[in-house]
Amino acid sequence: MTVMKILGIESSCDETAASVVEDGKTVLSNIVASQIDEHRLYGGVVPEIASRRHAENIGWVVREALLQANCTLADIDGIAVTYAPGLIGALLVGISFAKGLAMSSGIPLIPVHHIAGHIAANYITHPDLEPPYLCLVISGGHSHIIEVRDYTKYHVIGRTRDDAAGECFDKAARTLGYEYPGGKFIDAAAKLGDPNAYKLPKPKIPNSEFDFSFSGLKTAVINTVHNAEQKGEQLRREDMAASFQKTVADTLVERTMAAAKMLGSKKLAIAGGVSANSGVRGAFEKACADRGVKLYMPELKYCGDNAAMIACQGYYDFLAGKRADESLNGIATLSLDKISEEQ
């Protein structure tokens, strides 16, 4: 049986990443150059800085991925690259590099949707997972409940109407005095706090059972903290972190399990950076166990942005006949529903 190796390239935000994955399951290398330390100075990702660092890092990151996989370009069957959605300047660095490699080597170029990549991270950790199933993708820029109909076909059931869950984590953490990115600090503090200390809102969207809204929760945390400061009252950060994390986890679980019930789905996956949060993972483990739903979660190293997930999804896109030429461009915003319609 012929083995297929896909080189994945990811540069949609602030991680420059490259990976070689075999047959969509076996990760031979996974290199990630993070820019977190630099962006932390500004409390968030600065797009112009991100683009410049990608341009500086992309060459050695790809070389290292090939080296660690013990292969050369001649061994690669396809080059998969994130083309949407993301920061446009950041995307263009990875796309331009991938196009150059593909054109100079004659290797097929495979355009990969970033959210589809996050979904595919579960195929690496769980080779037995097969569509159809339901997947919740939760990250700094996305909060989607997705019906995965096939390896390359999707239908978005619910989405955030304002802030993404990960963005809400970062803003709440900043309000509580934690560094960027705030997710891991909230997670650690929540373990020391009382999750019932503060009653925070769980907004519901009228006539939309499966959509999310996190802006009100973010505002509630900000107002509670500022009101305490103005009154000279002592606010225990750990209690607020625990209450906030529980509220987010409960909201995600309620909407997602409602969607699973509506679809009759007995398989649920979660993915994206926020899926690394221990409170979120624990809440879904309990909810799925109570309802007899099989839960799939990526290894922690595949929750955040990485190129292994892009190479993995690229494998399935390649098998589905998806190709790109030198006209491939970056797209800042693109729905998964849209790419499913194009097939």
DSSP 9-52: EE-SSSEEEEEEEETTTEEEEEEEEE-HHHHHTTTS--HHHHHH
Q: Are residues 59 and 156 in the same domain?
A: no
User: In a 10 Å sphere around its CB, with 0-12 CB exposed, 13-18 middle and 19+ buried, how is residue 278 labelled?
Assistant: middle
C-alpha span between 58 and 11 (Å, rounded): 9
Residues 296, 324, single domain; the answer is no
Are 69 and 205 within one domain?
no
Residue 26 lies in a domain: yes
Both 155 and 186 in one domain: the answer is: yes
Domain match, 155 and 15 both = no
Contacts of 227 (CB under 8 A, 6+ apart): none
CATH classification of the domain holding 248: 3.30.420.40
Instruction: Say how far apart CA 94 and CA 17 lie, in whole Å.
Output: 9
Residue 206 lies in a domain: yes
Residues 295 and 325 in one domain: no
Domain-located, residue 125: no
The answer to the question of residue 126 being in a domain is no
* Alpha-carbon span 9 to 158, nearest angstrom: 28
Report the pLDDT value the prediction gives residue 208, as an integer from 0 to 100: 86
Structure-block tokens of residue 49: 């800085």
Are 250 and 311 found together in one domain? no
Coil, strand or helix at 6:
strand
Q: Report yes or no on 37 lying in a domain.
A: yes
Number of domains in the chain: 2
The residues that bridge with 155 in the sheet, in sequence order, are: 147
Please check whether residues 309 and 272 belong to one and the same domain.
no
pLDDT value at residue 76: 98
Distance CA 268, CA 281 (A): 12
Whether 258 maps to a domain, the answer reads yes
Residue 212: strand pairing partners: 160
The residues that bridge with 146 in the sheet, in sequence order, are 135, 156
Measure the CA–CA gap between 115 and 270, rounded to whole angstroms: 12
In a domain, 104, yes or no: yes
Range list of H helices, 46-129: 47-68, 88-105, 114-125
pTM: 0.95
**Boundaries of domain holding 225:** 131-301
Contact indicator for 80, 328 with CB cutoff of 8 Å = no
Contact 186, 245 (CB under 8 A): yes
Does 255 share its domain with 309?
no
Instruction: Please tell me whether residues 231 and 107 are part of one structural domain.
Output: no
Q: How many CB atoms lie under 10 A from the CB of residue 319? A: 13
**44 falls within a domain:** yes
Closest CA relative to residue 294, chosen from 134, 142, 155? 134
**CA 54 – CA 213 distance, rounded (Å):** 32
Residues in the chain with pLDDT < 50?
A: none
Considering Cα of 335, then 268, then 117, then 76, what sign does the dihedral take?
Answer: negative
Do 149 and 284 have their domain in common? yes
The predicted structure's pLDDT at residue 342: 67
Same-domain check for residues 135 and 277 = yes
Task: Please count the other Cβ atoms lying within 10 Å of the Cβ belonging to residue 226.
Answer: 12
pLDDT, residue 203, reads 80
